[in-house]
Amino acid sequence: MHPVTGTCLSGSCICGDVRCDIQLPQPAAAYAPRRCDCDFCTAQQLLYLSDAKGQLRIRANTRLTRIKQGSEQAEFLACSHCQTVVAVCYREAGICVGAINASLLQPQSQFAAPVTVQPKLLAAETKTERWKQLWTPLVVEEAS
């Protein structure tokens, strides 16, 4: 059973075609969004938020654009209209996990101060193991 302190947050891309919801077992203040220091994430001002015990759902009225970056293990999900990245995801057999772009969730002040991470310094295998531990089970509903 989830405690009553759980949090449900939602956001959308800039044009509104893609909506994302995340359910978290802890209050928002317990989470420090992660800022990745790679060029791609810095340019997009991406902030990641996830909890392996949560649930992440993306609903798109349009097709999602899938972008691969860096070691090409993870996929960024972006709105095909406004190009806003709403989440990053990782898939392997039977597993689909993701982290939401927390910069779409307002107010930012509800979260703990962001921390900077350097995933490019991790080996490929370490990275996928880390994602499976940290990221949130993800469901994507997408228009065809």
- Binding residues for Zn ion, rule: CB under 5 A, are 13, 15, 17, 79, 81-82
The minimum distance between CB 69 and Zn ion, in angstroms, equals 19
Q: Would you state the structure tokens that stand for residue 109, as one six-digit string?
A: 């002040």
Angle, CA of 82, 32 and 59, to the nearest 5°? 35
- State in angstroms the smallest separation of the CB of 63 from Zn ion: 11
CB of 144 to Zn ion, least distance (A): 17
d(CA 101, CA 4): 24
Nearer to Zn ion, 19 or 35 (CB): 19
First-to-last CA distance in the chain?
35
Residue closest to Zn ion when measured from CB atoms? 79
- Please identify, using beta-carbon distances, which residue of 83 and 133 lies nearer to Zn ion: 83
